[in-house]
Amino acid sequence: MRSSIIDVAEKAGVSIATVSRVLNGSDKVKAKTREKILAVINEMKYAPNPAARGLIMKKTEAIGLLLPDLHGEFFSEVIRGADEVVQQHGYHIIVSSSHNDPKEIEAALRFMRGRVDAIVLMSPQVNAEILLENLPKSLPIVLLNCRTDNKHFDTIVIDGYGGAREMTNYLLDLGHRRIAVITGGETNLESEERLRGYRAAMSERNVAPSRLLEFQGNFTEISGYETAREILKLKNHPTAIFAFNDSMAIGAIKAIREEGLRIPSDISICGFDDIPVARYISPSLTSVHVPISDLGAMAVNRVFDRLTKRSKDSTAHVFVPTKLCLRSSCKKINTISNLDKEEHVA
């Protein structure tokens, strides 16, 4: 049986209003009274009921964070970045994963409604705009890598186009021409942006981008593995594989190894995201650096900007640049032997 503010008031010989006042530190209460009440609170181990408080205050001190998945280091870093900022404000995080399923997104959103003061939503695959319409307009929402042109929401999006373009250019500079990509889900915004960047770079350098070199994964390690196996079955396999995230690159590396090929001497491979372990895998993975934990931190910071009315009405739209991060999984192509091979094929 939990004790309520009434019990405290009785025991301290004051009214509940006074107790409430010392609880909220706001109004002026005589020092002696305050001490007395504090003592009683301590003694009874009283803690205010958040539901009752939330009911009247319409504040929860929690932020909802809805991610597409919880596998791997990427999302863990986003959570970490978000949690760090949130903790500075005395807030907390409610996480959920949607598995890119509209039903699950809806369920999570419904759950969060009324339970959080703001929502950070990452949904690159499922267009969640319709689902967001049921939420009260007063609830700040930050969209992370979501497909939207709705100016009503704050948005943060990674420059997938630029990053992929730069990476593709780098591979072209190394002499690669048959560059395969492993994409993410079909309707996935991140994947589409990266694909756009890849195709742009290929075209610009007059290497006709072939659909036959575009293989569909789904951003999971296992899909990287399986797709790479497909790719290696081609009789004249590509000289480089560009996986659209590091997890798939890691899966691909496994497949390549199993095929007895060496990286990067037989085939080059690179990823996207630059998750922390990228530098430690073998060989260290060339990737497109994304400030992952900053993503979470930025989103939450934006939330608090809104919450503190500093920027109540105006929405912000942040475009996060990426940076090439060169390691040892890609290598200049051996032009001679490559020409050799090409002749064989021709």
Q: Kindly write down the DSSP assignment for every residue of 24-81, as one continuous string.
A: H--S---HHHHHHHHHHHHHHT----HHHHHHHH---SEEEEEES---HHHHHHHHHH
Q: With binding defined as CB under 8 A, does residue 327 bind its own copies?
A: no
Is the Cα torsion angle 285, 291, 297, 302 positive or negative in sign?
Answer: negative
Q: With binding defined as CB under 8 A, does residue 307 bind its own copies?
A: no
Whether 281 and 250 have beta carbons less than 8 Å apart is answered as yes
The size of the interface with its own copies (CB under 8 A), counted in residues, is: 53
Q: For its own copies, which stretch binds (CB under 8 A), given 158-166, 206-214, 247-255, 336-344?
A: 247-255
Cα–Cα distance between 140 and 123 in angstroms, integer? Answer: 16
Q: Looking at 174, 277, 307, 316, which residue binds its own copies (CB under 8 A)?
A: 277
**What does 92 interact with, of DNA, its own copies, none (CB < 5 to 8 A by kind)?**
its own copies
Name the minimum Å distance from CB 213 to its own copies.
25
Radius of gyration of the chain (CA): 26
Q: With binding defined as CB under 8 A, does residue 5 bind its own copies?
A: no
Cα–Cα distance between 37 and 19 in angstroms, integer? Answer: 7
Residues 6+ apart with CB under 8 A from 205: 169, 172
Strands 118-122 and 141-144: parallel
Helices (DSSP H) in 102-261: which residue ranges? 102-112, 129-132, 160-173, 189-204, 221-233, 246-258
Q: With binding defined as CB under 8 A, does residue 2 bind its own copies?
A: yes
Binding mask 203-242 for its own copies (x = CB under 8 A): ------------------x---------------------
What are the phi and psi torsion angles at 200 (to 5°)? -60, -45
Q: With binding defined as CB under 8 A, does residue 182 bind its own copies?
A: no
Measured from the CB atom, the residue of 61 and 214 that comes closer to its own copies is 61
**What does 181 interact with, of DNA, its own copies, none (CB < 5 to 8 A by kind)?**
none
Q: With binding defined as CB under 8 A, does residue 49 bind its own copies?
A: yes
Cα–Cα distance between 248 and 230 in angstroms, integer? Answer: 13
Site for its own copies in 116-175 (CB under 8 A): 134, 136
**What does 233 interact with, of DNA, its own copies, none (CB < 5 to 8 A by kind)?**
none
Using CA atoms, how far residue 152 sits from 118, 208, 245, in Å, is 14, 39, 30
Residues near DNA, by CB under 7 A: 2, 4-6, 13-21, 23-24, 26-30, 32-34, 46-49, 52-53, 55-57
Amino acid, single-letter form, for residue 197: G
Name the minimum Å distance from CB 137 to DNA.
15
Q: Looking at 92, 152, 205, 262, which residue binds its own copies (CB under 8 A)?
A: 92
Cα–Cα distance between 183 and 173 in angstroms, integer? Answer: 22
Which residues of this chain interact with its own copies, rule CB under 8 A? 2, 45, 47-52, 54-55, 60-62, 70-73, 75-76, 79-80, 83, 87, 90, 92-97, 104, 107-108, 110-115, 134, 136, 221, 250, 253-254, 276-277, 279-284
